[in-house]
Amino acid sequence: MLKIKMPTAGTPYVLSDILRAKIGLIQSRRVISQFEDVLKEYFGANNLRLVNSGTTANFIIYKVLKELRKREEQVEIILPAYTAPSLLLPIEAEALMPVLVDIDPATFNLDITKVAEKFNSKTLAVMPVHMFGLPCEVESLLELTRDTDIFILEDGASALGTTVNGQHIGTRAPFGFYSLNRGKNVSTLAGGIITWKDSGLSGLFDKYISELTSLSAYSQFSMFLKVVALSLAVRPLTYTLLNPIVAKFKYTTLHTHFDSFQYTTMQAALGINLWNRIEYLDQKRVENGLYLLEIFKGRDGFRIPVIPDGSRVVFNQFPIVVDDLEKRAAIVEKLRQSGIETTTLYDHPLHHIFPKLHKTGADPYPNATYLAEHLLLLPPHAQINHRIIKEIQKVIDTIG
Ligand SMILES: Cc1ncc(COP(=O)(O)O)c(C=O)c1O
């Protein structure tokens, strides 16, 4: 009998999403401003623009920071040693330098107590990354840099929707960005959102965004076909049937290059339609994450992240650290047999992937290394229901 598989990620599209995306192909660019307005209201942000990816959003923020910096020698970007390797691409493209800080094993995010020791006259910015949907502490970083010329930019790529005391992550620092890529909390196939606090900088952001090329009608149409394919690929039945093909489109290699172009009207029309049910999509991730948290709370051999007070976590993936790697492999296999796919994401921290970030000697970021090697990510997305959560619990009760 065919065993139905549940994908690890994916925004479930409905027919009206596809129809709206199709209409978007022939709409004017005004629809992009309309989607930006929807997003401004959702985030409570005054200044916001869309581009083709989170990477481009990050890249444009660096361009602006370089214009704002006091000294040419400010080239260092402080970021966690365990995060998406692709974050190094815009740093490199702008001739900046990554400076790593270990992660905090309790929060799975940047260890903010170790940030200040990296400050020097070359520091340009600190980038707290909200991994897996979990909010990284930002207020104390803002406090730490208050009377300095160091900028804070938040990477909310994997945490769109998460709030702390009612405020969206990505909007507390002067700069922030999100991703609308496949696998992120909400996806318009691809996409990036830039937010900034100072309206006086809008002209600068507009300049850099307007310099990006627009996709041809042909490329937009082929993107639309990908949206149709994605709508099938994220549904359990079609995902199962299409699995041999879908598997080829999963990211398996490191990105070495990124393209920058303007967001498309097709994606904006899709996004506007998706945002009609954003509360539902967010809430499912919040609830599923909390159910998963209960399964692992207090269980020996597993570590779950500390959830900061006052936060509402829109989990992108539910992260656990499994000390015993054989046990982790057994869980992955048992869940796979039950049709539930998991991921271990990046198996290595940045300083192992890019050896120039690690001079010889003892591991400078041991917590990041441990997290990379022992992480297991469970899916909390909107298609995960009670039956699947119960199935996960059964597997953990048997093995754990
Ligand atoms: C933490 C983080 N930041 C940034 C990005 C880049 O976003 P995009 O894929 O939209 O370029 C990603 C993507 O995986 C990510 O996980």
How confident is the model over 318-348, as pLDDT tens digits?
999 999 999 999 999 999 999 999 999 899 9
Question: What was the pLDDT predicted at 252?
Answer: 60
Pocket lining: 181 vs ligand 1, CB cutoff 6 Å: yes
Q: In this model, does residue 250 exceed pLDDT 70?
A: no
Mean pLDDT of all residues in 118-142 = 98
Question: What was the pLDDT predicted at 359?
Answer: 74
Distance CA 349, CA 168 (A): 27
Domain boundaries, the chain: 15-210, 277-399
Instruction: Name the class of domain 277-399.
Output: alpha beta
Q: In this model, does residue 25 exceed pLDDT 80?
A: yes
Q: In this model, does residue 205 exceed pLDDT 90?
A: yes
Q: In this model, does residue 251 exceed pLDDT 70?
A: no
Question: What was the pLDDT predicted at 239?
Answer: 72
Pocket lining: 155 vs ligand 1, CB cutoff 6 Å: yes
Distance 134 CA to ligand 1 centre (A): 15
Residue 193 identity? I
Helix (H), strand (E), coil (C) string for the chain = CCCCCECCCCCCCCHHHHHHHHHHCCCCCHHHHHHHHHHHHHHCCCEEEEECEHHHHHHHHHHHHHHHCCCCCCCEEEEECCCCHHHHHHHHHCCCEEEEECECCCCCCECHHHCHHHCCCCEEEECCECHHHCCCCCHHHHHHCCCCCCEEEEECCCCCCCEECCEECCCCCCEEEEECCCCCCCCCCCEEEEEECCHHHHHHHHHHHHCCECCCHHHHHHHHHHHHHHHHHCCHHHHHHHHHHHHHHCCCCCCCCCCCEECCHHHHHHHHHHHHHHHHHHHHHHHHHHHHHHHHCCCCCEECCCCCCCEECCCCCEEEEECCHHHHHHHHHHHHHCCECCECCCCCCHHHHCHHHCCCCCCCCHHHHHHHHHEEEECCCCCCCHHHHHHHHHHHHHHC
Residue 5 identity? K
Neighbours of 327 (CB within 10 A): 16
Distance 339 CA to ligand 1 centre (A): 27
Return the residue whose CA atom lies nearest to atom 10 of ligand 1: 54
Mean pLDDT of all residues in 17-24 = 98
Mean pLDDT of all residues in 345-365 = 89
Pocket lining: 389 vs ligand 1, CB cutoff 6 Å: no
pLDDT band at 254 (very low <50, low <70, confident <90, very high): confident
Torsion sign across C-alpha atoms 14, 19, 20, 22:
positive
Distance CA 170, CA 158 (A): 11
Burial of 38-54, coded b for 16+ CB within 10 Å and e otherwise, reads bbbebbebebbbbbbbb
Question: What was the pLDDT predicted at 163?
Answer: 98
Q: Which two tokens stand for residue 77?
A: 């970007």
Q: Between these two residues, 361 and 106, which has the higher pLDDT value?
A: 106
How confident is the model over 257-283, as pLDDT tens digits?
999 999 999 999 999 999 999 999 999
Mean pLDDT of all residues in 178-197 = 97
Closest approach atom of ligand 1 to CA 55? 11
Percent of the chain surpassing pLDDT 70: 98
Question: What was the pLDDT predicted at 248?
Answer: 66
Question: What was the pLDDT predicted at 253?
Answer: 67
Question: What was the pLDDT predicted at 133?
Answer: 98
Torsion sign across C-alpha atoms 209, 214, 215, 220:
positive
Residue 41 identity? E
Classify strands 375-378 and 192-196 as parallel, antiparallel or unpaired: unpaired
Q: What is the mean pLDDT of the chain?
A: 94
Q: In this model, does residue 123 exceed pLDDT 80?
A: yes
Distance CA 194, CA 11 (A): 21
Distance CA 102, CA 82 (A): 7
Return the residue whose CA atom lies nearest to atom 8 of ligand 1: 54
How confident is the model over 370-391, as pLDDT tens digits?
999 999 999 999 999 999 999 9
Q: Which two tokens stand for residue 233?
A: 């690929």
Q: Which two tokens stand for residue 96?
A: 């900046």
Percent of the chain surpassing pLDDT 90: 87
Mean pLDDT of all residues in 27-51 = 98
Distance 91 CA to ligand 1 centre (A): 13
Phi and psi torsions of 254, nearest 5°: -70, 140
Q: Which two tokens stand for residue 131?
A: 């991994």
pTM reported for the whole predicted model:
0.96
Mean pLDDT of all residues in 47-55 = 98
Distance 55 CA to ligand 1 centre (A): 6
Question: What was the pLDDT predicted at 3?
Answer: 75
Same CATH fold assignment for domains 15-210 and 277-399:
no
Q: Does domain 15-210 have CATH number 3.40.640.10?
A: yes
